[in-house]
Structure 1
Amino acid sequence: MKEKKLGLTSLILMIFTSVYGFNNIPRSYYLMGYAAIPWFVIAGILFFIPFAFMVAEFGSAFSHESGGMYSWMCKSVGPKYAFIGTFMWYTSYVLWMVNVSSGIWVPVSNILFGSDTTATWSLFGSDFLSGSRLLGIMAVAFFIFITYFDAKGVDKISKVTSIGGTAVLTINILVVVGSIVMIIVRGGQLQQPFEGFESLKTPLNAAYQGSPIAILSFIVYALFAYGGIEAVGGLVDKTENPEKNFPKGIISAAMVIVAGYAFLIMLVGSFTNYSEILGSKEITLGNVSYVIMSNFAAEIGEAFGVSHSAQLALAHGFARVYAFIMLLALMGAMFTLVYSPLKQIIEGTPKELWPGKMGEIDKDGMPGNAMWIQCTIVCVMILLISFGGDTMQQFFLILTAMVNVGMTVPYMFISYAFPKFKKMKDVDRSFVVFKSQKSATIWGYVVTITLFLANLFAIIQPAMEGDIKTTIWSLSGPVIFGICAWLIYSSYEKKTHASEAAEDILKDNTAEDARVI
């Protein structure tokens, strides 16, 4: 049976759903206000579009390889480089798990109480076991629970929670329609005044004002918002007339995503006065989405003249609905991502590469041993960060910084490998965007340098403002996991060389015995 190909519209929708994340919008508004918009455009031009084309060329050329990005880099540069890059890509999901395991209690609090009260939680009234420390302990228990069920092969729960994805799309539509209605009712007035170029240039967040390094560091958030485009590589061969439709699809999807982020950030400003709603120290990167969505419901009530008590009821009610939707989406993602990236990297690399029984896939189709090692690493990281003595605001800042840096660094390995891939002979070139070696080299280095500088600014900016801890944690993920990958592969090389040497000796002895006979 002939496989049905993707049309242009279907391709754009698939790219959009792989990349676009609603949570990036309230977080970006909280960090920069309207000044976030130009950075999304810059990141789209210097990273998203060229990188998507690179991934598409890789995916088309190596469409019959099962190893994904490991195969791309292995054939272009070499197996050691490929393993380190792929391992760092996998460990970015480990950092994501650390973040989500701790942050998932914020929607739980919103469901129970209509607002984020996690900063006031304590165990047995103890000051020591409160705030970020208690969240850390609860995060460890939650992650052990998820790992236990996934290791048993009970991944069907993720299908139940996939409804969260559809519900998040509904939230987007509600925000767009509701904001436009409020703007019309208010006669075009925005709650956060927009003053043209000045608003696009000057961040609303005091921490970013007057600090060029802080503003430049924000580009990592914009780059992270375009994450997930590595999945685009597998769509080339599934597209009708890919030579014509794929570049159109990438550019169209990029324009829709950039415009979507910019438009919704503007709409958040239409119902959120920055100093009134987001000026409190209780606002964190973990709860800002719920605060903004509660305010959205309250502002709709105010626009239509309902009483103050009714506005509060709307705010708490909508916070509960939004929190329930996000909880479903996060649970579904967690149940899938606890095993999926790990299984992909283990199945895509030589089994002998992994120490002990780590590379084994059990009868349920799960890398059970590796999952429990992963669980131990995640739990240790959660406890180290949560017991570091930080405020809740700092706790979520560290977690978010770790994920943003950890998830964008591995893309540098792919973009740096691209010019070398273009030099390869005897490769399927049925899909080509970069027509010359020169253009491939220029854009490969533009993307790599953009990623490098963005992460450099994001890592050093907290230290320059006296926050050494966030800098250390941001840097720790890529450095520690990069070293781990290098040690694992070096050990594999030694074992391989020792085995080859033993085989050579055995062959020589066999040949010698044959001559004697």
Structure 2
Amino acid sequence: MPDQNRNLKWQNIALMGFVMVWGFGNVVNNFANQGLTVVFSWIFMIALYFVPYTLMVGELGSAFKDSQGGVSAWIRSTTTPMLAFMAGWTYWVVHVPYLAQKPQTLLIALSWAISPSGELATVLKELNPMILQGMVLLIFLVFLYISTKGVKVLKVIGNVAGTSMFVMSLLFIALGLAAPAITGHVETPNITLHSFVPKFDFTYLTTLSMLVFAVGGCEKIAPYVNNTKNPSKNFPKGMLVLAGMVAVCALLGSIAMGMIFNANDIPKDLMMNGQYYAFQLLGDHYGVGSLFVIIYALANTAAQLSALVFSIDAPLRVLLGEADDNFIPKGLSKTNKNGVLVNGYIMTAVLVSILIIVPALGIGNTNELFNWLLKLNSVVMPMRYLWVFLAYMGLKKAIGKFDTEYKFIKNPKIGFLVGLWCFGFTAFACIMGMFPTDVPAFSSEWIFRVGLNVMTPIVLMGIGLILPFIAKRTNKNQSISK
């Protein structure tokens, strides 16, 4: 690549990667899972998982500079076309649980924006799950329709909202750490070094998937490795700074949470409403009332609107935009006059609608339903990271086949083992995340949740395995008819 096109510095790489990876919800959700022991977990995750993950992405981006960083393209180059299709399918299908919960988070954000004292949020929390999910389904279908019309304005709003939420996250850390100086005490009593060390039992292992979910997604930065000045030096430097930024936000944010919430008595709805409770408490500490809650709720409402619409359309285009006729039925790639993948939208609507309604039949508490969907996302979403590590292992096995300007690990055997470690840890975390610990083991609700957690990824991936057989029959018939 000509030097004039290499205009990114390590600072640019770090900031771009941070926006793609991190959010304030990562701090709240993992604190709700682990309390102050999450500090140890963040150190472990960042040092032994996130840092190698980001540097593998840099090497893969350098090796496949013409693929625009697509994971399915990496898999196609290092394994087989069938696995490449499954990688693309996984990237799309993991967004189904994400889309099933997005309208919930939108409703919650809007309720706090309208009623910053939390009355509307309380109404939502106590609502019958079937009524709530009916509202969620309606919102999803409305925005599914809107996304067929083009929503560039919403995407712009989302970018602005994302930036403002990042600023609010940093503001929370600063104000949260300073709050004890004003109040004269911290909410978590008797904090010692032991307070940060987790108990390595079954319950702890079930929380790992949420940590993996929090730090994933840096493969989106891969296409920019070849736009970086002196990539062999500046790209890994940017990735390491990214890891440092995530570490600072995760560690300080978790400590700040422990100062304004009692880590020994965490509210049961902290995942659902914790972000707003946090800013509500800060507003009380600093005498500004509901100001912080309103600003954060408005920013989050705009961000959720944009994320909902963007996540309906963009992953589907990745899957069907350059569909391989050997694996995907041509009918799914049909577009209308607006260029919308109509049959793909119908497939999305069916799968998401099922995942919105079915859980409400067996989970009788709205807060528990919200938490379950969030934890399901932490089980399903990291499945797409598995393909990154598989591609890296394939790259290390293909010694000398691909030219890379940047190498994370030069020794192919050691590199393969590091990729295998990240692959194995991700798979283990996803499996452990399937087991709920907030209801009695082997109770009817426990069995229902575990069944949904196990069957959801199996069914979603199984549909992907069926599509090539459908494509083989329908595409052949279409060719004969022509």
TM-score normalised per structure 2: 0.90
Q: The residue matched to 1:158 in structure 2 has which SS?
A: helix
Assess, with a 3 A threshold, how the Cα gap between structure 1 residues 421 and 275 changes in structure 2: closer, same or farther: closer
Alignment-derived partner of residue 205 in structure 1? none
C-alpha contact (below 8 Å) 1:88/1:478 kept by paired residues: no
In 2, the alpha carbon distance for the partners of 1:239 and 1:459 equals: 40
Match of 1:439 in 2: 414
Among 381, 386, 392, the residue aligned to 1:412: 386
Q: Give the 5 Å matches for 1:308-319.
A: 314=289, 316-319=290-293
1:165-185 CA distance string (max 9 Å, x none): 122122123213322432333
In structure 2, do the counterparts of structure 1 residues 46 and 468 end up closer, same or farther at CA, with 3 Å as the change threshold?
farther
Tell me: CA distance 1:54–1:67, structure 2 relative to 1, closer, same or farther (3 Å).
closer
Tell me the amino acid that sits aligned with residue 297 of structure 1.
G
Residues in 2 aligned to 1:451 and 1:121: alpha-carbon distance in whole angstroms: 34
Change (3 A) 1:241 1:195: same
1:39-85, Cα deviation, whole Å (9 max, x unpaired): 12222233212122222222222221258111111121111122223
Q: Which residue in the other structure is 1:479 paired with? A: 458
Q: What is the aligned partner in structure 1 of residue 278 from structure 2?
A: 292
Counterpart Cα distance in 2 of 1:392 and 1:266: 29
Q: Which deviates more, 95-104 or 1-10?
A: 1-10
Residues 224, 404 of structure 1: 8 Å contact kept: yes
Q: CA deviation at 1:420?
A: 1.9
Letter matched to residue 285 of structure 1 = M
Match of 1:192 in 2: 188
Q: Secondary structure at the match of 1:450?
A: helix
Match of 1:257 in 2: 246
Instruction: Choose which of 188, 204, 208 in structure 2 pairs with 1:215.
Output: 204
Gaps in structure 1 of 5+ consecutive residues? 203-209, 302-310, 503-517
* 1:73 and 2:99 matched: no
1:499 deviation in Å?
A: 10
Q: 1:416 to 1:26 in 2, by over 3 A?
A: same
**1:385 match:** 359
**Counterpart of 1:162?**
159
User: How many aligned positions are there?
Assistant: 472
| C-alpha contact 2:58 2:236 (8 A) present in aligned 1 | no
Answer yes or no: is the 8 Å Cα contact 1:40–1:219 preserved in 2: no
| 2:123 corresponds to which of 115, 120, 124 | 120
Report the alpha carbon displacement of residue 389 of structure 1 after superposing the two structures with TM. 4.1
Q: 1:453 to 1:121 in 2, by over 3 A?
A: closer
- Structure 2 CA distance for aligned equivalents of residues 230 and 161 of structure 1: 21
Alignment of 1:447-462 (within 5 A): 447-462=422-437
User: Which residue matches 1:231?
Assistant: 220
Change beyond 3 A, Cα 1:56–1:493: farther
Equivalent residue for 2:307? 333
Shift of 1:475: 2.2
Could you tell me which residue of structure 1 aligns to residue 374 of structure 2? 400
Structure 2: distance between partners of 1:341 and 1:364: 17
Amino acid at match of 1:155: K
Letter in 1 for 2:176: S
Say whether 1:375 aligns with 2:349.
yes
Checking the alignment, whether the CA contact within 8 Å between 1:167 and 1:325 is kept in structure 2 is yes
Partner in structure 2 of residue 510 of structure 1: none
Measure how far apart 1:199 and its partner are: 0.8
Instruction: Provide the rounded CA distance (Å) in 1 between the counterparts of 2:475 and 2:132.
Output: 44
Match of 1:304 in 2: none
- Contact 1:272–1:296 (Cα < 8 Å) also in 2: no
Q: Counterpart amino acid of 2:418?
A: W
CA pair 435-67 structure 1, distance change in 2 beyond 3 A: closer
**Which entry has the higher C-alpha Rg, 1 or 2?**
1
Q: Quote the offset at 1:443 in angstroms.
A: 0.5
Report the aligned-residue RMSD: 2.7
| Structure 1 residues 400 and 121, CA gap change in structure 2 (3 angstroms) | closer
1:471-516 CA-partner distances (Å, limit 9, x unpaired)? 222223321111111111244356789999x9xxxxxxxxxxxxxx
Flag the 1:147–1:499 CA change in 2: closer, same or farther, 3 A.
closer
1:133–1:454 Cα change, 3 Å = same
| CA deviation vs aligned residue, 1:356-394 (integer Å, no higher than 9, x gap) | 521134443432331232122212210112233421222
In 2, distance between residues paired with 1:499 and 1:138? Answer: 40
Conserved 8 A contact 1:20-1:257: yes
Q: Structure 2 stretches of 5 or more lacking a match?
A: none
Query: Aligned in 2, Cα 1:440/1:274: closer, same or farther, shift over 3 Å?
Result: closer
8 A Cα contact 1:90 1:341, kept in partner: yes
Give yes or no for contact 1:155–1:335 (8 Å, CA) kept in 2: no
The structural deviation recorded for 1:138 is: 1.1
Partner of 1:173: 170
Asked if 2 retains the 8 angstrom alpha-carbon contact of 1:63 and 1:237, the reply is yes
Q: State the identity %.
A: 19
- Relative distance call for 1:194 and 1:216 in structure 2 (3 A) is farther
Specify the SS of the correspondent of 1:156. helix
8 Å Cα contact 1:153/1:366 also seen in 2 = no
Identify the match of residue 22 of structure 1 among 21, 24, 38. 24
- Residues 148, 293 of structure 1: alpha-carbon distance in 2 compared, 3 angstrom cutoff: same
TM-score (norm 1): 0.84
Query: Compared with structure 1, are the counterparts of its residues 227 and 40 closer, same or farther at alpha carbon in structure 2 (3 Å cutoff)?
Result: same
Distance 1:116 1:161, change over 3 A: farther
- Tell me if the contact between 2:129 and 2:364 (Cα under 8 Å) persists in the aligned partners: yes
C-alpha spacing 1:491/1:412, structure 2 compared with 1 (3 Å): same
- Which deviates more, 324-333 or 193-202? 193-202
SS of residue paired to 1:104: helix
Partner of 1:307: none
